[in-house]
Structure 1
């Protein structure tokens, strides 16, 4: 079953951000674009490379009114310890949500029940709290923050420009398409 247009469930999560702990809820994400970036575990192997990649582009996400939330089934305490211990994770300025019960991962259908960790899932959520894009990949394959940023920009463009769509490899300023009878068989 597709999660596209599914409104995310209410949640409450303790997070590590800016050398403090803060509670985040669904209410906090409404009104702006969000990325929920699930990863298997702190103190692991591929995960720090992904979070560093996201951290390096975090300012670009903020410029387009998009907040990034990394989520694992670790606690906010473990997130702080990882942040203190890893030079890569020290770069992270976005909220690191703790999900020790797996409730959030379960709601997004990325919880691996047998191991109690999350799959690598990237979810773009619109300001109304609905999932408009997502990707879930194998735990051994890292994701690309540049492509995730491009997808957020494309989702935002389509939401703001009724009737236009973004072709493959679209970037802001590139040509879009307006579906209609004139395009049938012309591409």
Structure 2
């Protein structure tokens, strides 16, 4: 039986995974855990998944998240990318692809597929992750989930818009954008 997608209001599952954080020899890898998502500085986390390294749609998304890295940082949000490929495949892809060499965020490796499975985003046939994005608040609670089909890239500006809206902690109308009025009750 397929597990349902982790939803809003649920705690993000516990994990500890290796990630590629640099191309510098000896400093390529770093372990990231769910404990890193919990913090007292009010830092949010945006964790986005792609299906496979060395593919076509995925690098366009990763590059776009990287171009907007400062937007996430300015909103006190950590950005983490992830797939079910290994950290060694991530490293090779970063070295091989011009748009991925200078990433400012870690590429998490879920080689056991356990985190993707816990999140309910493991595609049942190929056992790869769907294009999923999770916004997690500083207490480790999922506040937004978006999942796309394997062949459709996501909209990074929409992720930023939703993060802005969530951080207001107010009622935000349809198409609300940062700087616009929120709804008053």
Q: TM-score, normalised by structure 1?
A: 0.89
CA drift of 1:62 comes to: 0.7
1:64 to 57, 72, 75: 75
Q: Give the SS at the match of 1:124.
A: strand
Contact 1:110 1:121 in 2 (8 A): yes
8 A contact 1:56–1:91 mirrored in 2: no
Deviation at 1:178, TM superposition (A): 2.0
2:88 alignment counterpart: 77
Is 2:184 aligned against 1:174?
no
Contact 1:61 1:149 (8 Å CA) reproduced: yes
Point out 4+ residue stretches in structure 1 off by more than 3 angstroms.
none
> How far apart, CA to CA, are the structure 1 residues paired with 2:103 and 2:115?
21
Candidates 13, 25, 33, aligned match of 2:33: 25
Distance 1:113 1:93 in 2: 31
Whole-angstrom distance in 1 between the partners of 2:168 and 2:106:
25
Answer yes or no: is the 8 Å Cα contact 1:42–1:79 preserved in 2: yes
In structure 2, list runs of 5 or more residues that go unmatched.
none
Deviation for aligned residue 1:113: 2.9
Q: Which residue of 1 aligns with 2:17?
A: 13
Distance in 2 (alpha carbons) for counterparts of 1:80 and 1:6? 32
Question: What's the counterpart of residue 48 of structure 2?
Answer: 37
Q: 2:183 matched to 1:165? A: no
Partner of 1:4: 8
**In 2, Cα distance between equivalents of 1:4 and 1:151:** 13
In 2, Cα distance between equivalents of 1:107 and 1:94:
23
Q: Secondary structure at the match of 1:67?
A: strand
Kindly state the Cα deviation for residue 88 of structure 1 after the two structures are TM-superposed.
1.3
- Corresponding residue for 1:146? 157
Q: Which residue matches 1:183?
A: none
RMSD of Structure 2 on Structure 1 (CA): 1.2
Which of 119, 129, 132 aligns to 1:118? It is: 129
User: Could you list the runs of 5+ residues in structure 1 that have no partner in the other structure?
Assistant: 159-163, 180-187
Higher Cα Rg, which structure: 1
Aligned-partner Cα distance in 1 for 2:161–2:151: 23
